[in-house]
Structure 1
Amino acid sequence: MAAASLPAKFEHFLRELKDQYAKTVRNNPDTVAQIETAVRILSFLVAGRFENGELISELIYSASNLLVFINDNVFRAASKYLPKVADVAKQRLKTWLTVLEYAEVFLEMAARKKWGNKGAWIVITVIQIAKTVMRFYVLLKLDGGIGTSPSIQPADRELLKTVHEEHDSLEDAWDEEAAYSEEEKTFTLKSSGRQIRTLHASDHNGIRTWGVPQSGQQSANNNIQSKKKNVLFQSPSVLNKKRLWAERLYIARPLTHLCAAYTFGLESWKPWLVACGMDVSSLFLMGDTHDLKDKEKAEMKRRSLLLLYYLLRSPCYDQVTRDRLINSLKVVSQYVPLSGIIIRPILEYLPTWQKMYFYVWTS
């Protein structure tokens, strides 16, 4: 009996620990933000300071991103924002995708350190297969629409705080309104028979309307749901056939590039051209983005800018870009005052950065 109760006790302990952590985060948002920033800065200070410094730096950086992600989820829960039941599966897959996206560089570096290049490419392939399968499932089975990177975007904490405060103030308003009957909230003009709101039935400034009041809880619920729908949760745009093919091309590109690189070799231009062609075709098929949601427009801009990465991807970097880029940076460091402080570390780290798959072939 005692042994059987150990798992239950451990589960209870973890639940209490989780609740206590969430409470601490909610009550100290400024301190939490400062800690997150300090951890991120620490990751840059550690790099190159001692043996395995780059690996430890990447571990700390990945941990800082995961810490922000965990804390964002605490603030989302505090704002009373929860996904619909139909979106729970999508949310879980996106959570795993986000964790992978934040940890993939560290996993590649650790594998390269432990097992060499062969082990690193095995880890890279496994991660890309997992990401591709999950992204296709979200797109085709769960109507996930245009994917973003990271899959779950960092939360706007000020907005979450505003909605949370309004939710609390509206709950207080329900208690106040309960003291008045519906007749006390309005009166009827004798001449026209029109109903008019009384002064004590007016809403708070941020949610005030001028129509005839609804019942307290119904009105408050409508305001909260409208705020959540418009600000915290935007359902993805429905994709037509062309855009669906565009998203399929974008999702399939990383794995297609790996297959082409395995077939033709990393020094061949064929994998580079195949990947570039798929990215450009995806953007072309997506077409004009004026009718997309704000976060989807931002994602399209990000994908367009990522085309510049093809200048840093082998073999283009090795044969065309490297010497020109290095010479340009050296000229800038010589003639622009104080620029050497920034450029010299970049020049030192550039070879290492360019060799990391998930740095250069990010998606």
Structure 2
Amino acid sequence: MAADTTEWKIKKLIQDLKDQYSKTVRNNPDTVAQIESAVRILSFLVAGRFENGEILSELIYSASNLLVFLNDSVFKAASKYVSKVVNVTKEKIKRWLTVLEYTEVFLEMAAKKKWGTKGAWIVITIIQIMKTALRFYVLVKLDGGIGSTPAIQPVDREILKTAEDEHDNLEDAWDEEAAYSAQEKTFTLQSSGRQIRTLQAAEPGMRTWGVPESGTQSPQNSVLNRKRKMLNQPASKLTKQRKWAEGLHIARPMAHLISMYISGLDSWKPFLLACGMDVTSMYLMGDTKDLNAKEKAELKRRNMMLLYYLMRSPFYDKYTKMRFIAIFRFIAQYVPLSGFIIRPLLEYLPTWQRMYFYVWTL
């Protein structure tokens, strides 16, 4: 009985701490954002200044991402614009995937420091196996559709406003504006007597001359509502071809690792295999007109990520490295103040290029 009472007290204490933290985050969104930014900036300031500074920097950077992820969850839970989670299993898996993706570089660096190169590759392989298995489970068993990286994206908190007075103030301000008479937003042509909208009354980017309608939604609210609808868009039902395409995208990291183990780190075979799988996946996706906005954005990101092959060995070692360095040094020498950014970047570039999860991230 005493053990049950102690366990109940511990659970209650944890729940009270969670509730207090959530309340503090919701009531102080600006302060929360400043703290998140400060932690992220600290990660850049620490790098290279202490022994094991690179690992410490990556730990702080991972912590900043996890902090943003945690606070986003608080804001979404309190927001009336976010639908309730329908598939709890899918949501839990996405959370685990997000945590893995935010911490994988730190885990790789820590493993290399603790156990050497061999230990780092073991950790890399374990993480990739976990990510691949979880993503395939979401795709095949849960009809998860097209996945994103990270699995749960950071959100625009402007669309998650929870304070009722903020929302009411927006609505009241527009109701007051909409209550103005059309005559205050128009002028009458003397010859024809026709009413025409004034320039001041025209919406940005929409210079129409028609008479404004009362009760029309404000441009700001219109944009926010479109973004809020995107929050709750369900995953598109994928055709068999698109499932193969998504499967290729998910399997690419493991295929690349296996190919590197067989052919060696300096071989072109893993590079060409991974590139071929990425290009084939994008081709099989076909026309994206029927996909929702989030899925289109993810496929656009994947297209852009093809440029990463310029930074991936052995292509980087053979063709890109010296050209990039030469360009950056030229900019640092001749563009005022650019050296403050570019010189530290050049110093960190070898470390960045050696990290598997920096260069070969999904």
Q: 1:37 to 1:229 in 2, by over 3 A?
A: closer
What RMSD over aligned residues (CA atoms) do the two structures have, in Å? 2.1
Q: 1:136 & 1:158 partners in 2: Cα distance?
A: 33
**1:244 corresponds to which letter in structure 2?**
K
Q: 1:269 & 1:93 partners in 2: Cα distance?
A: 34
**Unaligned regions of 5+ residues in structure 1, if any?**
170-204, 209-225
CA contact (8 A) 1:79 1:160 kept: yes
Specify the alignment match of 2:78 in structure 1: 78
Specify the alignment match of 1:150 in structure 2: 150
Specify the alignment match of 1:7 in structure 2: 7
Specify the alignment match of 1:66 in structure 2: 66
Specify the alignment match of 1:288 in structure 2: 287
Instruction: Give the count of matched residue pairs.
Output: 310
Q: Any residues of structure 2 matched to 1:78-117 within 5 Å, and which?
A: 78-80=78-80, 84=84, 86-117=86-117
Specify the alignment match of 1:222 in structure 2: none
CA contact (8 A) 1:332 1:339 kept: yes
Specify the alignment match of 2:360 in structure 1: 361
3-state secondary structure, aligned to 2:257: helix
Shift of residue 285, structure 1, vs aligned partner? 0.8
- TM-score of the superposition, structure 1-length normalised? 0.81
Shift of residue 93, structure 1, vs aligned partner? 0.4
Q: 1:133 to 1:166 in 2, by over 3 A?
A: farther
Q: Residues 312-360 of structure 1, C-alpha deviation per residue, up to 9 Å, x if partnerless?
A: 1111111111111111211222222222111111111110000000000
Specify the alignment match of 2:126 in structure 1: 126
CA contact (8 A) 2:90 2:138 kept: yes
Q: 1:138 to 1:18 in 2, by over 3 A?
A: same
**1:66 corresponds to which letter in structure 2?**
L
Q: 1:27 to 1:167 in 2, by over 3 A?
A: closer
Q: Any residues of structure 2 matched to 1:42-53 within 5 Å, and which?
A: 42-53=42-53
Q: Any residues of structure 2 matched to 1:105-254 within 5 Å, and which?
A: 105-161=105-161, 165=164, 230-254=229-253
Q: 1:239 to 1:229 in 2, by over 3 A?
A: farther
Q: 1:279 & 1:340 partners in 2: Cα distance?
A: 35
State percent identity of aligned pairs. Answer: 67
Q: Residues 148-184 of structure 1, C-alpha deviation per residue, up to 9 Å, x if partnerless?
A: 111111122111116x639986xxxxxxxxxxxxxxx
Q: 1:332 to 1:86 in 2, by over 3 A?
A: same
Specify the alignment match of 1:326 in structure 2: 325
Specify the alignment match of 1:20 in structure 2: 20
Specify the alignment match of 1:307 in structure 2: 306
Q: 1:122 & 1:242 partners in 2: Cα distance?
A: 33
- TM-score of the superposition, structure 2-length normalised? 0.81
CA contact (8 A) 1:256 1:275 kept: yes
Q: 1:238 to 1:103 in 2, by over 3 A?
A: same
Q: 1:353 to 1:227 in 2, by over 3 A?
A: closer
CA contact (8 A) 2:288 2:296 kept: yes
CA contact (8 A) 1:250 1:279 kept: yes
Q: 1:26 to 1:333 in 2, by over 3 A?
A: same
Shift of residue 88, structure 1, vs aligned partner? 1.0
Specify the alignment match of 2:255 in structure 1: 256
Q: 2:252 & 2:264 partners in 1: Cα distance?
A: 17
